[in-house]
């Protein structure tokens, strides 16, 4: 056991980068069934955080900012379950780009992971939508939870392409930073604390998470019937936000940290002082 672990110190940034790259190799080469099962779990976990956010923000009289912050704290449930419980989330897996940039995995392995995980995440989200509808969660609060869910879906579908793309970039910067910080901790408590602020921030600020939207938008479609929320508008949001998430996670987090810490692997470790 090393000194840092013994005294509970966080891993240094260069050590985190090395851990993320090694994790990327393991994830990229995991068997397909394992990836799919863990990805379905992640989609369900994120959906549970999303419905908790919906309930928390319904009929709140605390004001816009405070209500969003409390909802964001509730939404943290999703990524906490993913990171601590063990699951495969597409947005967090954009960090696999560090292993690819270090030539530890091939582009084909990277895209295989992303494709399988995205598919599994979608299945997990849609399955949770079905269970939420069967459980009539939207009827809570005299139907006000359902009204909030529908309002959320409409707001997402009505974003312009530029807004959706930019919010997707900003969202996954914070999601990948949350995963990055969690990789720096030793204990469950460390990792939970590392997740809470970045995830609460992206939710409070109204950024767009593609996998969460695979819950919010299908739930809205299921409730809206022949209403104004369209399948085409929803799919366009999902596509644009997914691209934004990729840009934010790969270029603005994975590539930046790769340039800082892994492009020259013979650099010395950070001085703990």
Domain membership of residue 267 (yes or no) is no
Both tokens of 26, joined, read 């393991």
Q: What is the number of domains present in the chain?
A: 1
Domain membership of residue 18 (yes or no) is yes
With left for phi above 0 and alpha for psi between -120 and 50, is residue 31 left, alpha or beta? beta
Helices 107-134 and 32-57 cross at an angle (nearest 10°) of 50
Domain membership of residue 22 (yes or no) is yes
Helix (H) or strand (E) holding 261: none
| Residue pair 115/125 in contact by the 8 Å Cβ criterion | no
In a structure prediction context, what are the per-residue pLDDT tens digits for the chain, which is 273 residues long?
444 454 457 899 999 999 999 999 999 999 999 999 999 999 999 999 999 999 999 999 999 999 999 999 999 999 999 999 999 999 999 999 999 999 999 999 999 999 999 999 999 999 999 999 999 999 999 999 999 999 999 999 999 999 999 999 999 999 999 999 999 999 999 999 999 999 999 999 999 999 999 999 999 999 876 677 888 889 999 999 999 999 999 999 999 999 999 987 655 555 443
Domain membership of residue 5 (yes or no) is no
What are the φ/ψ torsions at residue 130 (nearest 5 degrees)?
-60, -45
Domain membership of residue 196 (yes or no) is yes
Residue 82 and residue 75: Cα distance in Å, rounded? 12
Domain membership of residue 87 (yes or no) is yes
Domain membership of residue 244 (yes or no) is yes
Residue 58 and residue 36: Cα distance in Å, rounded? 33
Tell me the CATH number at 196. Answer: 1.20.1080.10
- Cβ neighbours of residue 179 closer than 8 Å, sequence gap 6 or more: 79, 83, 92, 95
Q: Where are the alpha helices (DSSP H) in the chain?
A: 3-6, 13-28, 32-57, 64-85, 97-101, 107-134, 144-157, 161-183, 188-204, 210-224, 231-246, 255-257
The pLDDT, as a whole number, for residue 8 is 59
Residue 198 and residue 195: Cα distance in Å, rounded? 6
The pLDDT, as a whole number, for residue 266 is 58
Range 106-114, long-range pairs (CB < 8 A, 24+ positions): 109/28, 109/29, 110/28, 112/28, 113/27, 113/28, 113/30, 113/35, 113/88, 114/90
Domain extent at residue 76 = 11-262
Both tokens of 221, joined, read 């479609």
Domain membership of residue 64 (yes or no) is yes
pTM for the whole thing?
A: 0.92
At which residue do the structure tokens 């994790």 appear?
Answer: 23
């Amino acid at each position: 056991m090393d000194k840092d672990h013994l005294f509970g110190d966080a891993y240094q940034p260069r050590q985190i980068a090395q851990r993320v790259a090694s994790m990327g190799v393991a994830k990229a080469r995991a068997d397909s069934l394992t990836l799919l099962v863990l990805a379905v779990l992640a989609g369900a976990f994120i959906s549970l955080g999303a419905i908790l956010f919906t309930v928390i923000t319904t009929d709140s009289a605390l004001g816009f900012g405070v209500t969003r912050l409390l909802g964001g704290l509730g939404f943290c449930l999703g990524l906490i379950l993913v990171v601590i419980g063990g699951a495969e989330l597409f947005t967090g897996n954009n960090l696999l780009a560090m292993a690819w940039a270090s030539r530890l995995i091939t582009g084909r392995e990277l895209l295989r992971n992303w494709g399988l995980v995205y598919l599994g995440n979608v299945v997990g989200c849609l399955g949770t939508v079905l269970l939420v509808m069967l459980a009539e969660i939207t009827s809570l609060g005299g139907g006000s939870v359902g009204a909030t869910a529908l309002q959320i879906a409409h707001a997402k579908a009505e974003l312009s392409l530029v807004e959706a793309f930019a919010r997707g970039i900003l969202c996954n910067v914070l999601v990948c930073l949350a995963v990055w910080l969690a990789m720096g901790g030793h204990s469950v408590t460390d990792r939970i604390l590392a997740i809470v602020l970045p995830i609460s921030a992206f939710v409070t600020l109204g950024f767009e998470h593609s996998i969460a939207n695979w819950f919010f938008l299908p739930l809205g479609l299921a409730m809206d019937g022949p209403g104004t929320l369209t399948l085409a508008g929803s799919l366009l949001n999902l596509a644009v936000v997914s691209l934004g998430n990729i840009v934010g996670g790969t270029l603005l987090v994975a590539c930046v940290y790769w340039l800082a810490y892994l492009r020259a692997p013979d650099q010395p470790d950070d001085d703990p002082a």
